[in-house]
Amino acid sequence: MAEATDHTNDTGLRSGNLEVRLAKSEAEIDAAQRLRYEVFYNEMAARPTPEMASRSRDFDDFDPLCDHLLVIDHNRGSGPEGVVGTYRLIRRAAAARAGAFYSSHEYDISRLEALPGEILELGRSCVDTAYRTRGTMQLLWRGIAAYVWELKIALMFGCGSLPGTDLKALALPLSYLYHNHLAPPELRPVALPDRYADMRLMPAEQIDKRRALNELPPLIKGYLRLGGYIGDGAVIDHQFNTTDVCIVVKTDQVTEKYYRHYDRQNRDASVA
């Protein structure tokens, strides 16, 4: 069995036939890994290891140590067969058992690790093609907000990916992110020297902000709407056929939105 975590909230959040909750079994984690393989390797042309290809699963040493947030479609089933979305959540304790956070293979995140309190690394986000709707993403974010709220997490971070590895083709969105959303020094991850790619590919005055935003993946735009910051330097990930940026989000806005939603639900229930 995957190692149990130390929090207590196992209650899922529902929206119609969809529920978001943490994985409860190895079979559900396996379903998340199967979905990750389908999206990352079959759809997005990432390069699997021979073992991943033989099992049709995306996996690594972090998976047994962290939490896996799932979207379940109860019309397909209430267990592994119903998994249609996932997010991987790594906290300090899991990173300590693994020896490092996943992002540390691409970025110097020592400034984040030095912060007091709990921090959370987000990663491996994917949704089945048939479920890529605003409602599904909102449900995933409600799940993350509830997790952050319960565990009093002060800051989230992780690698966000832009498709492709051609920096010239990504010059506009990368330059926009650097010039408009660079993290303050005390919160700024920096790409490791041997992986650092300069994001300043266009001068600030030449950037068409509307077009740049249109070229950003929805997930990165979602982080920016929450007040997210970007680290210094992009990293080319040849295995996943992406160019990564490091994103940092202070959780006060996330938890405030969740609190308003939770408070509204309580008030509605008291009136009913």
Contact in structure between 201 and 174 (CB atoms under 8 Å): yes
- What phi and psi values does residue 23 have, to the nearest 5 degrees? -60, 140
* Cα separation, 15 vs 37, whole angstroms: 26
> Could you tell me which residues come within 8 angstroms of residue 34 by beta carbon, excluding any fewer than 6 positions away?
56, 57, 83
User: Does 6 fall in a domain?
Assistant: no
Please write the tens of the pLDDT for every residue from 120-169: 999 999 999 999 998 998 899 899 999 999 999 999 999 999 999 999 99
Average pLDDT over residues 84-102: 97
User: Does 5 fall in a domain?
Assistant: no
Burial classification of residue 272, based on how many CB atoms lie within 10 Å of its CB (0-12 exposed, 13-18 middle, 19 or more buried) = exposed
pLDDT higher than threshold 50 for residue 6: no
* Cα separation, 44 vs 58, whole angstroms: 13
Please write the tens of the pLDDT for every residue from 12-41: 799 999 999 999 999 999 999 999 999 999
Residue 30 CA, chain-centre distance (Å), reads 18
Name the pLDDT band for 94 (thresholds 50, 70, 90): very high
User: Does 1 fall in a domain?
Assistant: no
Average pLDDT over residues 197-223: 96
User: Does 64 fall in a domain?
Assistant: yes
Crossing angle of the two packed helices 134-151 and 252-271, in degrees rounded to 10: 100
Query: What 8-state DSSP symbol labels residue 231?
Result: -
User: Does 254 fall in a domain?
Assistant: yes
* Cα separation, 83 vs 24, whole angstroms: 12
* Cα separation, 261 vs 199, whole angstroms: 37
* Cα separation, 189 vs 50, whole angstroms: 32
Q: Write out the H or E segment, with its range, that includes residue 173.
A: helix 171-181
**Which range marks the domain in which residue 145 is found?**
13-271
Work out whether strand 118-127 and strand 153-163 pair parallel, antiparallel, or are unpaired: parallel
Q: Which amino acid is at 41?
A: Y
Q: Residue with structure tokens 């940092």? A: 248
User: Does 153 fall in a domain?
Assistant: yes
Please indicate, yes or no, whether the overall pTM of this predicted structure exceeds 0.85: yes
User: Does 4 fall in a domain?
Assistant: no
CATH of the domain at 219: 3.40.630.30
Q: What's the pLDDT at 272?
A: 38
User: Does 48 fall in a domain?
Assistant: yes
The total number of structural domains that make up the chain: 1
Contact in structure between 147 and 89 (CB atoms under 8 Å): yes
Q: What's the pLDDT at 4?
A: 37
